Structure 1
Amino acid sequence: MEASWLETRWARPLHLAFVFCLALALLQAIKLYLRRQRLLRDLRPFAAPPAHWLHGHREFLQEDKMEKLDEIVGEYPCAFPCWVGPFQAFFYIYDPDYAKIFLSRTDPKTHCLHKFMTPSLGRKGLLDLDGPKWFQHRCLLTPGFHCDILKTHIEAMACSVNIMLDKWEKICSTQETTVEVFEHINLMALDIIMKCAFGQETNCQINGTYDPYVKATFELGQILSHRLYNFWHHNDLIFKFSPKGHHFQKLSKVLHQYTEKIIQERKNSLKSGMKQGHTQKYQDFLDIVLSAQAENEDTFSDEDLQSQVNTFLWTGHDALAASLSWLLYCLALSPEPQHRCREEIRSILGDGSFITWDKLDEMSYTTMCIKEMFRLIPPIPSISRELSKPLMLPDGHSLPAGMTVVLSIWGLHHNPAVWKSPKIFDPLRFTKENSDQRHPYAFLPFSTGPRSCIGQQFAMLELKVAIALILLRFRVTPDLTRPLAFTSHILLKPKHGIHLHLKKLPE
């Protein structure tokens, strides 16, 4: 029986559509195959750990496997290619000479990572901008981190730290007590950022107003890490309709709501202050950003404003919380350096009731302990760039344009070819004599050059104030029944918190 006219009419377009989709799928498969072959060719000169053809180096890329990276660094002392699935590879480097060549260039930030971060930050912020716009924004925001402005923050920092310590005293009373300190430090770091950068008294350590924000930043970091090292989620459409992608969108909205509120409240306050003739006693970060927008309306939009606020609030709060947590953890594991820090702090600050910039600058041994923490557990364990032109390496081999190169700060700081006994906490590595003898690119916790961390002085100031006040009131020792685990490759945080024994010291 012959097909009806209607059946024939509908069948032809369906057949054409099927053939078209099949051709597209075949072209995509060919494209991916050629991409893999090109990567295999480009990376053939470099030795690497065995990789599964489909999963790549999945064992190494798991978030709690930093010790696996130590093994790789010991076996491959300069660099190795790391496969993320079958069609994507990053080139890891952790040698000072490699780092020097890499950081002397002006390659843009890694496209995939910062593309993934943009929805949570809004438009690109200082962290992921490139080219003239990055330079312009960097110049506009740098005055917010001048030492004259930072000096005005010391009192507010000390106040926030003391709120946390008062909470610890209530928990501990006269007995030594185990406390999960990361949760408290996280809120304290947020309190400091809100006061110093945005001029807001939130009482977030007491009333829990910002608990949803803190939770959102923690989960966003985990999802970003998962997406970066899962090749299939590099596709925007696949990720968007995945459970993690849906949750990511909800978390991003939480961040935007909080920063929108901060900006709007300050704008309303400024309008009210202008009407009443009020002036602030000093400029904070938000003042600087708003002034930059007012003076550069054509090149600094409302979206730019919010992205810069998002960037500084999220990354600043997160990185500072992680840094102080790791510092306290390192000192808990090292009784002698902890005791020496405490004695130095007492001799300079007394009871800690009056802290000044100059006194903090005298805390040389404490500063060495902070630097050693950054070496042993760098909160930001890597930075990455996408090569805009071929990169010639010290061994004579080269990498092609388009390759993603990851400078592993963790690997560099743990490289036994660079550091003697790298897993031991030894602050004396940073005496002037030892520092002068070391390769200038062997220690890079804040990166270096024009793209070094804009907030590194702010971070060092907060760490000095916080650790000084903590050690004046408490002795800390580790809870060895709770093993430590890391939770992210983007920012190193404790996966299950940091549990320490706290002992209140006599007045």
Structure 2
Amino acid sequence: MEVRSFVGRFTMDCIGICAFGLDTKAMLDDNSPFTNMGNLIFQATTTQGLKTHMRYIWPGIFYSLGLTAFPKEVDAFFRHFLLRVFDERRGKPSARKDFVEMVLSFYDKKVITGDSMKNLKTDERIKVNLKVDDELVMAQCFVFFAAGYETSATTSSFLLYELAKDQKSQERAREEVREWLRKREGHLGYECVTELPFLEQCIDETLRLYPVLGVITREVTDTYKFENGPTVERGLRVHLPIYHMHHNPKYFPDPESFRPERFAPENRHNIQPYTFFPFGEGPRLCIGMRFAKMQALAGLVTILKKYRVELAEGMPEKLEFEPRSAVTQSKTGINLKFIPLSDADEYLYPREVNAQ
């Protein structure tokens, strides 16, 4: 099975239900329009790759040419979809406490006031005031969708690949999952985010090996001189090489090996600050980080309790990345075998038991 597309459909269903209150039916329909649009956002083509790099390096030229970050059909699809959701939910009491409910509450404020930001030309600190309109609210929804979809799908796929190569770690993760489910009579809950430490270590190690974004861009707000090094002028755009930092043996010994124990409580203090930042750092930390981790854990728990994962025939021990992609992707896909475990019925969720 090509696991990236399979996990992508799972994360699409999660985001649809949890964030927007909508059943996308992505797991049941290989041609779900939501999955198709999600794939278009992160498609690996030469044109899209050039546009992505141009936007990072020369944003002024990019926008002056009238270019857009994503295909126009993606913008049109999500605009139509989100406006329909807003119209259905706006002004109507709802018991759902989802992402749409939160962003719709922005309309009551009329204006959102943020922290003061420094004008890089005048040094004046400006209070940020944003008028709330459909464009602003749709932008927040789109970013949350894109961040949660790609982060979870990519990370879960690469983690299953690494566990397929490392059966010892896979078995340890499975035993942790099963023990946790036994204590809760098979109920999967939010507590899995904090009560599955080894599986979370596996996720962090996967994010180190395969950060979703290999590079992030920031703008220097104050001139800074490195000791015995160059001076970085205010206003300069700086590209931070996340992938290189995560694979630097100075910070992570034996950097190409999958070693979840790096992130164990007794070892985590050895990781230098700002050498592991798969979601970025500071005020612009990825908005979908917590949600992405939570849905990844839920999916991995469901798989590991029922299946042993192995590499499919012909699957290499080292992946080659797609150079045209803005995010970290395998050039050939990730093909794995899912072998049902003989005692899987002992760990069914209550709804699975009721469905039998």
Q: TM-score, normalised by structure 1?
A: 0.57
The answer to whether residue 101 in structure 2 is matched with residue 255 in structure 1 is no
* Inter-partner Cα distance in structure 1 for 2:65 and 2:185: 50
The aligned residue for residue 3 of structure 2 is 181
Letter in 2 for 1:490: A
Instruction: Please say if residues 44 and 325 of structure 2, whose CA atoms lie closer than 8 Å, have aligned partners that are also in contact.
Output: no
Which of 110, 116, 124 matches 1:296?
A: 110
Instruction: Please say if residues 192 and 297 of structure 2, whose CA atoms lie closer than 8 Å, have aligned partners that are also in contact.
Output: no
The aligned residue for residue 486 of structure 1 is 321
The number of aligned residues is 317
* Inter-partner Cα distance in structure 2 for 1:217 and 1:503: 32
1:285-310, Cα deviation, whole Å (9 max, x unpaired)? 11111111232257112211222222
Q: 1:303 to 1:180 in 2, by over 3 A?
A: same
The answer to whether residue 257 in structure 2 is matched with residue 424 in structure 1 is yes
Q: Tell me the CA shift for residue 237 of structure 1.
A: 9.2
Q: Tell me the CA shift for residue 219 of structure 1.
A: 2.3
Instruction: Please say if residues 20 and 98 of structure 2, whose CA atoms lie closer than 8 Å, have aligned partners that are also in contact.
Output: yes
The aligned residue for residue 199 of structure 1 is 21
Range 216-225 or range 457-466, more displaced: 216-225
The aligned residue for residue 270 of structure 1 is 89
The answer to whether residue 351 in structure 2 is matched with residue 502 in structure 1 is no
The aligned residue for residue 319 of structure 1 is 151
The aligned residue for residue 104 of structure 1 is none
Instruction: Please say if residues 233 and 239 of structure 1, whose CA atoms lie closer than 8 Å, have aligned partners that are also in contact.
Output: no
Tell me the secondary structure at the aligned position of residue 153 of structure 2. helix
Instruction: Please say if residues 371 and 430 of structure 1, whose CA atoms lie closer than 8 Å, have aligned partners that are also in contact.
Output: yes
Q: Tell me the CA shift for residue 253 of structure 1.
A: 2.4
1:10-56, Cα deviation, whole Å (9 max, x unpaired)? xxxxxxxxxxxxxxxxxxxxxxxxxxxxxxxxxxxxxxxxxxxxxxx
Letter in 2 for 1:456: M
**Structure 1 unaligned blocks of 5 or more:** 1-178
Q: 1:482 to 1:451 in 2, by over 3 A?
A: same
1:70-91, Cα deviation, whole Å (9 max, x unpaired)? xxxxxxxxxxxxxxxxxxxxxx
* Inter-partner Cα distance in structure 1 for 2:326 and 2:341: 36
* Inter-partner Cα distance in structure 2 for 1:474 and 1:185: 15
Tell me the secondary structure at the aligned position of residue 14 of structure 2. helix
Q: Tell me the CA shift for residue 220 of structure 1.
A: 7.1
Tell me the secondary structure at the aligned position of residue 188 of structure 1. helix
The answer to whether residue 298 in structure 2 is matched with residue 465 in structure 1 is yes
Q: Tell me the CA shift for residue 455 of structure 1.
A: 2.3
Q: 1:405 to 1:480 in 2, by over 3 A?
A: farther
Which of 183, 202, 214 matches 1:381?
A: 214
Q: Tell me the CA shift for residue 423 of structure 1.
A: 0.6
Q: 1:265 to 1:474 in 2, by over 3 A?
A: same
Instruction: Please say if residues 144 and 287 of structure 2, whose CA atoms lie closer than 8 Å, have aligned partners that are also in contact.
Output: no
Instruction: Please say if residues 256 and 310 of structure 1, whose CA atoms lie closer than 8 Å, have aligned partners that are also in contact.
Output: no
The aligned residue for residue 160 of structure 1 is none
Tell me the secondary structure at the aligned position of residue 28 of structure 2. helix
* Inter-partner Cα distance in structure 1 for 2:11 and 2:108: 29
Q: 1:301 to 1:377 in 2, by over 3 A?
A: same
The aligned residue for residue 371 of structure 1 is 204
Tell me the secondary structure at the aligned position of residue 266 of structure 2. helix
Q: Tell me the CA shift for residue 400 of structure 1.
A: 3.0
The aligned residue for residue 43 of structure 2 is 219
Letter in 1 for 2:276: F
* Inter-partner Cα distance in structure 1 for 2:87 and 2:268: 49
Q: Tell me the CA shift for residue 255 of structure 1.
A: 1.8
Q: Tell me the CA shift for residue 252 of structure 1.
A: 2.7
Instruction: Please say if residues 152 and 292 of structure 2, whose CA atoms lie closer than 8 Å, have aligned partners that are also in contact.
Output: yes
Tell me the secondary structure at the aligned position of residue 339 of structure 2. strand
* Inter-partner Cα distance in structure 1 for 2:247 and 2:328: 15
Instruction: Please say if residues 381 and 489 of structure 1, whose CA atoms lie closer than 8 Å, have aligned partners that are also in contact.
Output: no
Cα root mean square deviation, aligned: 2.8
Q: Tell me the CA shift for residue 450 of structure 1.
A: 2.2
* Inter-partner Cα distance in structure 2 for 1:430 and 1:232: 37
Instruction: Please say if residues 147 and 287 of structure 2, whose CA atoms lie closer than 8 Å, have aligned partners that are also in contact.
Output: no
Instruction: Please say if residues 409 and 444 of structure 1, whose CA atoms lie closer than 8 Å, have aligned partners that are also in contact.
Output: yes
Letter in 1 for 2:252: W
Q: Tell me the CA shift for residue 393 of structure 1.
A: 2.0
The answer to whether residue 32 in structure 2 is matched with residue 209 in structure 1 is yes
* Inter-partner Cα distance in structure 2 for 1:216 and 1:201: 20
1:254-306, Cα deviation, whole Å (9 max, x unpaired)? 222332233233233236x84xxxx4333111111111123225711221122
1:196-216, Cα deviation, whole Å (9 max, x unpaired)? 110101212223232431332
Q: TM-score, normalised by structure 2?
A: 0.80
* Inter-partner Cα distance in structure 2 for 1:480 and 1:390: 53
Matches within 5 A, 1:53-92: none
Using CA pairs below 8 Å that are at least 6 residues apart, which structure has the higher relative contact order?
Answer: 1
Letter in 1 for 2:302: L
Q: 1:286 to 1:209 in 2, by over 3 A?
A: same
Instruction: Please say if residues 189 and 320 of structure 1, whose CA atoms lie closer than 8 Å, have aligned partners that are also in contact.
Output: yes
* Inter-partner Cα distance in structure 2 for 1:314 and 1:438: 29
1:457-496, Cα deviation, whole Å (9 max, x unpaired)? 2122112111111111111112362443322563112232
1:138-182, Cα deviation, whole Å (9 max, x unpaired)? xxxxxxxxxxxxxxxxxxxxxxxxxxxxxxxxxxxxxxxxx1111
Instruction: Please say if residues 319 and 380 of structure 1, whose CA atoms lie closer than 8 Å, have aligned partners that are also in contact.
Output: no
Instruction: Please say if residues 227 and 233 of structure 1, whose CA atoms lie closer than 8 Å, have aligned partners that are also in contact.
Output: no
Higher helix share: 1
1:321-363, Cα deviation, whole Å (9 max, x unpaired)? 1111111111112111001000111111139841122344221
Tell me the secondary structure at the aligned position of residue 308 of structure 2. strand
